[in-house]
């Protein structure tokens, strides 16, 4: 049996999901190249690997030409601003990393003969007219709305990935990631869980946009990364939803977080942002059937771990 370690390139590897993927591949004995320009990623997320001989960090913007020496077996393309606050702040960069960045990463995969996995998103479904959303649903997206820079960047990324698969016969995978949470989330990324946790821990009013009746489904980070690894190692080339199919209203989420943090924070309501989806829930029947995967961590246990992370790191004081 060969003792040569497999090499994986993870773009966006210093981000929330990317850094957990670095953990997973290091744990499984891979050599990991983490590439990130640190616009939204943080060195703190990967600092525990920096002295590991099996880990290498490269600061680079993947929207520019990517040059990596040596063999690469797998490329996981996770580089992109991924929260509304980020992609509204960096609209052009978001479009570039979804288009130019994906093109560059696919070109590298071609040159290296590497298997390629694209991190797509539930946002390709837009504000869905059906619930839950199966992979066969084409979506309800406003291409010129404020969220269009992210939605359309990911839809283009899917299209070019499939073009490389069909035209160049490249072995590609596409995952549509639904709301994911856990340690290393940024407190200021505008998502419900870090917002609610930090407001509750500070004793501030919990802010809900809209009526609070809109629903989301939340997948714990370790469940997601296990699903991503299974997809990478599978023979599947069509898009696969990975997320938790247990739906919860935002008002229900705020109450649960208040209970878990022993908070007496009041809830205040503000206007719903433009094109904000009313429902978001994955149909994960394909992942269950093809990958033999399903989420295992319940929302209460996952939130306890996430709240613990924010407390240990005093992140809520940021």
- Which residue from 77, 105, 102 is spatially nearest to 11, judged by alpha carbons? 77
Report the distance separating Cα 286 and Cα 293, nearest Å.
Answer: 9
Average pLDDT in the chain: 95
Specify which residues 77 forms β-bridges with: 11, 118
pLDDT of residue 3: 65
Residues 6 or more apart from 185 whose CB is under 8 A from it? 16, 191, 193, 194, 306
Query: How would residue 277 be classed by pLDDT, with cut points 50, 70 and 90?
Result: confident
Dihedral sign, Cα of residue 234, residue 226, residue 180, residue 294: positive
- Confidence label for 134 from pLDDT (cuts 50, 70 and 90): very high
Contacts of 75 (CB under 8 A, 6+ apart): 8, 9, 11, 105, 108, 109, 112, 114, 115, 116, 117
Mapped onto helix, strand or coil, the DSSP state of residue 55 is strand
Q: List all residues 6 or more positions away from 285 whose beta carbon is below 8 Å from its beta carbon.
A: 134
Which DSSP state fits 244? Answer: -
Please state the rounded mean pLDDT for residues 263-274: 89
CATH 3.40.50.1220 fits 7-182+219-245+283-296, yes or no: no
Q: What is the mean pLDDT of residues 95-114?
A: 98
d(CA 43, CA 235): 33
Tens-place pLDDT, residues 5-56: 999 999 999 999 999 999 999 999 999 999 999 999 999 999 999 999 999 9
Tens-digit pLDDT profile for residues 228-251? 999 999 999 999 999 999 999 999
- 318 pLDDT higher than 60: no
Which residues are known catalytic residues? 150
Average pLDDT over residues 80-92: 93
Average pLDDT over residues 67-85: 95
Residue 1 has pLDDT above 50, yes or no: no
8 Å CB contact between 242 and 268:
no
């Amino acid at each position: 049996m060969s003792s040569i370690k497999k090499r994986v390139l993870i773009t966006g590897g210093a981000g929330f999901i990317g850094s957990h993927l670095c953990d997973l591949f290091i744990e499984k004995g891979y050599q990991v190249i983490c590439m990130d320009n640190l616009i939204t990623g943080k060195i703190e997320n990967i600092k525990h690997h920096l002295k590991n001989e099996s880990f290498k960090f490269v600061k680079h913007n993947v929207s520019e030409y990517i040059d990596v020496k040596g063999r690469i077996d797998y490329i996981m393309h996770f580089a992109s601003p991924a929260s509304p606050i980020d992609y509204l702040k960096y609209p052009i960069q978001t479009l570039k990393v979804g288009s130019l960045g994906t093109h560059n990463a696919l070109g590298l995969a071609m040159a290296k003969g590497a298997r390629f996995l694209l991190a797509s998103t539930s946002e390709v479904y837009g504000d869905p007219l059906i619930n839950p959303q199966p992979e066969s649903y084409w979506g309800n997206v406003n291409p010129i709305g404020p969220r269009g820079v992210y939605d359309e960047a990911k839809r283009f990324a899917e299209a070019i990935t499939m073009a490389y698969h069909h035209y160049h016969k490249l072995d590609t995978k596409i995952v549509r990631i639904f709301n994911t949470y856990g340690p290393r989330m940024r407190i200021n990324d505008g998502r419900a869980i870090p917002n609610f946790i930090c407001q509750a821990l500070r004793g501030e009013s919990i802010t809900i946009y809209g009526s609070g009746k809109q629903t989301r489904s939340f997948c714990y980070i370790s469940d997601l990364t296990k699903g991503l690894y299974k997809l990478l190692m599978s023979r599947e080339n069509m898009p696969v939803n990975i997320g938790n199919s247990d739906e919860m209203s935002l008002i229900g989420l705020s109450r649960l977080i208040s209970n878990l943090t022993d908070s007496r924070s009041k809830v205040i309501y503000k206007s719903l942002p433009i094109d904000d989806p009313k429902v978001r829930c994955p149909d994960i029947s394909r992942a269950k059937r093809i990958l033999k995967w399903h989420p295992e961590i319940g929302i209460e246990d996952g939130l306890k771990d996430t709240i613990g992370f924010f407390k240990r790191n005093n992140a809520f004081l940021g």
